[in-house]
Amino acid sequence: MKITDLLKKQSICLDGKADSKEQVIREMVDLMAEGGNINDIDTYRETVFKREEEGTTGIGEGIAIPHGKTEAVSAPGLAAMVLPEGVDYDSLDGEPVYLIFLIAAPNTEDNVHLEVLSRLSMLLMDEDFRNKLLHAKDVDEFLAYVDAAEKEKFPEEAEEKAEAPADASAKPYQILAVTACPTGIAHTYMAAEGLEKKAKEMGVTIKVETNGSGGAKNVLTPEEIAACDCIIIAADKDVAMARFDGKPLISTKVSDGINKAQELIERALSGNAPVYHSKGGATEEGGASADGDTIGRKIYKSLMNGVSHMLPFVIGGGILIALSFLVDGANAGTAAFGSGTPLAKFFNTVGNTAFGMMFPILAGYIAMAIGDRPALMPGIVGGLLAKAGTSVFLAEDAWISSGFFGALIAGFAAGYLMIGLKKLFDKLPKTLEGTKPVLLYPFFGILIMAAFMIFIVNPPVGAFNTWLNNVLSGMGESSKMLLGAVLAGMMSIDFGGPFNKAAYVFGTASIASGQFDIMASVMIGGMVPPIAIALATTFFKNRFTKSEQQTSITNYIMGLSFITEGAIPFAASDPLRIIPPCIVGSAIAGALSMMFGCGSRAPHGGIFVIGIIDNPLMFLIALVVGAVVAMAGIVLLKKPLKAE
């Protein structure tokens, strides 16, 4: 593995300054993170320090090669720093260190760090090579010296490469892609499958990295990125972008990976894709601005970044809270319901702790999508203050919480606040650079966000929340049925898109205010489309192709699990005959759920949480009615296919 393949420009510093070994390692880890190889910077930093405790990596001759092997590393990488004034590194020869290389290796069996460590050590034994690196005028010259030294030291590699026979399987991928959706459940993998399937039909080689709920899979390597022709980012949430610096890149919605795969691939091969330029942030994430995202699109992606990080807390915590009521049935109707037994109290305490993180996590990750990592802290603080509320005129007995809407405002405010603070503090002397992340950003971020939330946001938004809860609580049966129909219908407009997510987030927020009937309507609205399509493909096969008929079981499972995205392939191929019936069926199911008084304390789970849904039998009846109505509409609109 060549040094030049692992060493990126943004991970090289030629004028480093540090007063201690600890400081220089921290700065080296930050440099490594700028290369996009780290998925958990704190864990990686701890690994490097732990390795250092086992014995110094200052090998003498003014050189140090610290390294860390951990699952926090997504792909092998190198960072380099030249310290003109040197630093006391506790080296084996007792001399200061002037040249440092940091190695990042994933936790795999191939021990890539040992290979790189050996290769570096061999190169750095040459005093002339070390002097060239120490006196390089710029990063390009530094890399050129490394490349020349490698070619001279390992000439057999160039010969083997030249003599190697052409092997189609060894050719670099023409296109690389990354797919990601807010929930990381369905759209992410459907977009990946769409791109891979279409590329195979077109005879194009492609590799797709999926940023799903279980983390990044099939991660793109630095070598693959360097060799590919173009990169496609089909994402509705932020992904690591710094690694794509200088490459042609297309940024688009995740749904385009499903519906417009051929168009994206053709554009990627055309040579007209804009070149992406990294802003150089250590943890730069985003959907890339190569395509010139509109303001609305940027706001949506920032919001979805918050939602995607919030959902695991909401779903896991919400289901645990619901389980506490299920196991504590003996205390139903009493004040102790949900915590009347030890097991129920355990579920309730843990669930409420996780569920209570909804607002700070939402605000924090919205802020981070806008203002990078420094904005995470004021965003989280703003979300906590939105949850805690504001005492009217600071009186102790009249607290008003701004809740979900306050957390939204806090997230966006914290993100743009940090952008402003960065611009303001850029005017400070360079000697104060190190104080920004550890002193200036935290202090002013917390101070300004606290004043903003307590005195400006919480009072009016808290009053609005109180009014909204009173309105919802005071709604008559007909009004609630209309609300249930609207929210459930929204779940079927775009099957996981903005309308669907807006309704779902409103439903999860309603759980926090005790409006469990709203969540039940939202859930049932999302379950109807896949089940309706499954029923149609089961009982009216003559209206669907052979491949469509084979999805019946999958759609039954997805529908019963409350995964609306199972309807996407059908909606994409025939939207006018699929979407309207699904909207009608979902709306009817949502209205019936409201009318029957169904309620869900669990924000997800579908049929698998039926035991903790209020009026479960009527919920199932409403689901069946909605699915049958949607199926009937689909069947009436779709004509039988012509026999071949």
* CATH code: domain of residue 158: 3.40.930.10
Looking at 13, 181, 228, 598, which residue is catalytic? 181
Q: Let me know whether 380 and 438 are in one domain.
A: yes
Contact at 8 Å (CB) between 520 and 510? no
**pTM tops 0.75, yes or no:** no
Q: Which are the contacts of 12, defined by CB distance < 8 A and separation ≥ 6?
A: 31, 79, 80, 81, 139, 142, 143
Give me the pLDDT at residue 437, please: 82
> Would the pLDDT of 290 be above 60?
no
Band of residue 396 on the pLDDT scale cut at 50, 70, 90: low
Per cent of the chain over pLDDT 70 is 88
Instruction: Tell me if residue 67 is catalytic.
Output: yes
- In whole angstroms, give the CA distance from residue 520 to residue 598: 6
Q: Which long-range contacts (CB under 8 A, 24 or more apart) does 293-296 make?
A: 293/251
Cα(635)–Cα(639) distance, rounded to whole angstroms? 7
pLDDT at 401 over 70: yes
Angstrom distances, CA of residue 280 to CA of 81, 283, 375: 16, 8, 16
Give a yes or no: residue 150 inside a domain: yes
pLDDT above 80: residue 192? yes
Note the pLDDT of residue 282. Answer: 40
- Answer yes or no: is 605 within a domain: yes
506, part of any domain: yes
203: CATH: 3.40.50.2300
The pLDDT assigned to 170 comes to 53
pLDDT for 452? 93
Q: What is the pLDDT of residues 463-495, one digit of tens each?
A: 887 777 777 667 666 788 999 999 999 999 877
Residues 598, 622, single domain; the answer is yes
Instruction: State how far the Cα of 419 lies from the Cα of 586, in Å rounded to an integer.
Output: 42
Q: Which of 10-19, 259-268, 473-482 has the lowest mean pLDDT?
A: 473-482
Which of the listed ranges 86-90, 235-239, 379-383 does the model predict with the highest average pLDDT? 379-383
Note whether 350 and 256 are same-domain residues. no
Model confidence pLDDT, tens digit, residues 151-170: 887 665 555 444 444 444 45
Confidence (pLDDT) at 293? 57
Domain end among 112, 145, 163:
163
Candidates 129, 82, 125; CA nearest to 101 is: 82
Nearest to 338 by CA among 356, 320, 353, 354: 320
Catalytic residue among 13, 67, 187, 604: 67
644 lies in a domain?
no
* 235 & 271 share domain: yes
Q: pLDDT band for position 427 (50/70/90)?
A: confident
Confidence band, pLDDT 50/70/90 cuts, at residue 111:
low
Mean pLDDT of 298-318: 80
Residue span of the structural domain in which 105 resides = 3-163
Is the model's pLDDT at 281 over the cut of 70?
no
Of 546 and 442, more confident: 442
Same domain, 516 and 629: yes
CA–CA dist 531, 631 (Å, integer):
8
Residue identified by tokens 């005879």 is 203
Domain boundary among 163, 196, 225: 163
Each residue's pLDDT tens digit, 613-639: 889 999 999 999 999 999 999 999 988
Q: Based on the domain organization, do 393 and 420 belong to the same domain?
A: yes
Q: Is residue 45 in a domain? A: yes
Same domain, 36 and 158: yes
Domain boundary among 142, 163, 184: 163
pLDDT, tens digit, 9 for 90 and up, residues 54-89: 778 887 788 888 988 888 888 788 999 999 989 998
What pLDDT does 110 receive?
A: 59
Token digits of residue 72 = 């926090």
53 and 17 fall within a common domain: yes
Higher pLDDT, 484 or 324: 484
- Maximum mean pLDDT: which of 89-93, 345-349, 473-477: 345-349
642 lies in a domain? Answer: no
pLDDT bin (cut points 50, 70, 90) of residue 584 is very high
291 is a domain residue: no
Query: Do 180 and 210 touch, CB atoms closer than 8 A?
Result: yes
Regarding predicted confidence, which is higher, 251 or 434? Answer: 251
Residues 354 and 438 in one domain: yes
* 423 & 491 share domain: no
Residue type, 379: G
For 515-558, what is each residue's pLDDT tens digit?
889 999 999 999 999 999 999 999 998 888 887 888 888 889 88
Compare 539 and 111 and report the one with higher pLDDT: 539
Q: How many domains does the chain have?
A: 4
Looking at the domain assignment, is residue 643 inside a domain?
no
531, 567: one domain: yes
Q: Are 288 and 242 in contact (CB under 8 A)?
A: no
pLDDT band at 597 (very low <50, low <70, confident <90, very high): very high
Residue 169: its pLDDT value, please? 46
Residues 216 and 281 in one domain: yes
